[in-house]
Structure 1
């Protein structure tokens, strides 16, 4: 019986009086645009979060173990303690952070020089997928220490692969610890990277650990270890476990810690944006409701005939409810198509038109993505709103007296 009612509803919907007449096309267009706006807004929020997460895990690993002491120690012993506390450890590499000033062709810029263990870095950091030009291999033979630089820094300093630049690092004098002297190191550009974060692209320089230690004159000391685990989602739990196992001499932070405010903002704004944009669907759905009210009036004769041949009030209500749901499904399908087109257009134009201001949003570009949970939420919300909007006209049609419908015929 339900299939028969659905067929009758579909046939009535495709007539000129309903889908192709009156305000129905405009109501359907409004629903399509509302769904498309919801798809794009959720794709932007999800894309921002996933883009920032990918950048953090590719460039800084899942967890950082930072030493509070500057005294050298056995890093292999530290790695063994970490692996004992967290057997899921995939890879670990030493690193050191040094602030300095880059100088090239009369231009200067403040930079953050990161030294990494060239033999182990590939097991933790994922620079290969971020290479714009050159290579990520820092262990290649060279007379001058090799370095990887951010794309913004390369553009600002007019550097290309193969160029040699200098980094000036302040070094504490051994006689007077309150005095500083300059130490200049030379590096050759091995690769230019798109690091995913605006501030990293503008001032990040990556080189071998030994080269960074030599230019800073710190011997075999290092800042800590960068760690990678099977998944980024497990990193926070791993960080808690390591904090308990290693104790106070070490500072543990995961990839989310340094941008906690941004991730919290996304989690708060996502439902708010979903609700605000859903208002467009509410308006479009009640336009569909008004269309169905008009359709009920125009279908008095048809409703009367259906009731005369034995259709019950409940059956008439189902017919008009099916009509509203069919229109909702058409709007939902069309909205997803338009939304996907707009997402593809956004991805194409954001680089050339600078739609994302890196200095404001911390990222230079967003790879829009539609999550499965967002898709389910959009579908459920749209169909629920359309169902609620059809109840009133459907009940009005079900209450029609057959004699009233045939009075003027």
Structure 2
């Protein structure tokens, strides 16, 4: 029975009097624009979170175990303790951070050098997918050669450096006799690759090099800052970091990829539902237009409704017919709205690559990879259909209350 009612509803909807006449096209256009705005806004918000998450995981690992003490220890023993506590560990690599100044052709810039174990870093970090020019291979570095280095694209552009160029960095080292004084140590590196690290501040001041070369430059012997960790699932990193902080205890500080940008991730999680409901107002207004269109359609269809009731359709059947019409219009709006929303996402990608829509100084990202999540799509579909269904109840109930004799008399 419901299939027959759906067929009647569809036939009445696509007639010239309904879908292609009066205010119906404008109502449908408003619905399409509302859905498209929802798709595009949710894709940008989800893309911001996804882009930042992958940048953090690729460059700083899923988690970091940072030593609170500067005294050297057996890192192999530390790795074994971590593996025993977290069997999902995929790989680990020692790292060291030092702050320095880069000087090249009369230009200077404050930088952060991250030294990593080149034999293990490939299991933990993902620089290969971020190479813009050159390569991400640092394994050929040795004490007898000029150490190789990778650099963020912003820093390379600012210092006018290209792959193969050599540059010098200056590191302040505390005096062994008087800690209040500093000695200047100068090191030379050769640029092996230029990377898009995903975050604006990293692109502007981040350099990656071999661990031994960085330790030698900073004159710290075999000491290191901690371990970079990678697990089977990036979303499990927070739970893993929490577990490791209890197992390793106070000598170590464990943080996951989210910790260093907690404020940004929290802002996204708070703003996403807010933006969803604000933009949903567009769909809500469009649904009221659909309701008014169907209400006019009820008045125009007095004779048809009277005939349908005369041949045996009940009041509930008439209500179902007009409810189906509202859902059909919602479905059409969703279909074309998702297509338009996808086009808007493509235009956003094009515009941000050509016009620089995303200010890295403000949003910490140079670009956003828009991401249409399945969960967001389901929420848009449910919200739109629910609003359209509720909006059709008033005209549907009016059509159901029509007296067949009155309908035929008016005709």
Could you state the TM-score of these two structures normalised by the residue count of structure 2?
Answer: 0.98
Q: Is 1:61 aligned to 2:25, yes or no?
A: no
Q: Secondary structure at the match of 2:410?
A: coil
Q: Which residue of 1 aligns with 2:361?
A: 359
Residue 323 of structure 2: which of 315, 321, 324 is its match? 321
* Deviation, structure 1 residue 83: 1.1
| CA deviation string 1:93-121 (max 9, x = no partner) | 00000001000000000000110001110
Between the aligned partners of 2:224 and 2:178, the Cα distance in structure 1 is 23
Q: Using the TM superposition, name which of 247-256 and 347-356 deviates more.
A: 347-356
Contact 2:164 2:191 in 1 (8 A): yes
* Deviation, structure 1 residue 77: 1.0
5 Å-filtered alignment, 1:120-269, equals 120-140=120-140, 143-269=145-271
Between the aligned partners of 1:120 and 1:289, the Cα distance in structure 2 is 63
* Deviation, structure 1 residue 310: 1.1
Q: Which residue of 2 aligns with 1:345?
A: 347
* Deviation, structure 1 residue 141: 5.4
Between the aligned partners of 2:334 and 2:305, the Cα distance in structure 1 is 28
Contact 2:95 2:224 in 1 (8 A): yes
* Alignment gaps of 5+ in structure 1: none
Between the aligned partners of 1:331 and 1:185, the Cα distance in structure 2 is 62
Contact 2:156 2:194 in 1 (8 A): yes
Q: Which residue of 2 aligns with 1:387?
A: 389
Q: Which residue of 2 aligns with 1:308?
A: 310
Between the aligned partners of 1:408 and 1:74, the Cα distance in structure 2 is 94
| CA deviation string 1:299-326 (max 9, x = no partner) | 0011111111111111111111111110
Between the aligned partners of 2:293 and 2:179, the Cα distance in structure 1 is 82
Between the aligned partners of 1:9 and 1:239, the Cα distance in structure 2 is 57
Between the aligned partners of 2:59 and 2:337, the Cα distance in structure 1 is 37
Q: Secondary structure at the match of 2:89?
A: coil
Between the aligned partners of 1:372 and 1:364, the Cα distance in structure 2 is 25
* Deviation, structure 1 residue 87: 1.8
Between the aligned partners of 2:115 and 2:224, the Cα distance in structure 1 is 9
5 Å-filtered alignment, 1:26-105, equals 26-105=26-105
Contact 2:141 2:210 in 1 (8 A): no
Between the aligned partners of 1:284 and 1:399, the Cα distance in structure 2 is 25
* Deviation, structure 1 residue 403: 1.3
Q: Secondary structure at the match of 1:137?
A: coil
| CA deviation string 1:249-268 (max 9, x = no partner) | 00110000000111111111
Contact 2:173 2:219 in 1 (8 A): yes
* Deviation, structure 1 residue 408: 3.2
Q: Using the TM superposition, name which of 81-90 and 195-204 deviates more.
A: 81-90
Between the aligned partners of 1:201 and 1:220, the Cα distance in structure 2 is 28
Moved over 2 A (4+): 140-143
Aligned CA RMSD, in angstroms, stands at 0.8
Between the aligned partners of 1:408 and 1:290, the Cα distance in structure 2 is 21
Q: Secondary structure at the match of 1:90?
A: strand
Between the aligned partners of 1:66 and 1:171, the Cα distance in structure 2 is 21
Between the aligned partners of 1:75 and 1:336, the Cα distance in structure 2 is 52
Between the aligned partners of 2:410 and 2:220, the Cα distance in structure 1 is 99
Q: Secondary structure at the match of 1:174?
A: coil
Between the aligned partners of 2:382 and 2:396, the Cα distance in structure 1 is 20
Q: Which residue of 1 aligns with 2:400?
A: 398
5 Å-filtered alignment, 1:291-302, equals 291-302=293-304
Between the aligned partners of 1:358 and 1:227, the Cα distance in structure 2 is 27
* Alignment gaps of 5+ in structure 2: none
* Deviation, structure 1 residue 175: 2.0
Between the aligned partners of 1:327 and 1:397, the Cα distance in structure 2 is 18
Between the aligned partners of 1:91 and 1:189, the Cα distance in structure 2 is 26
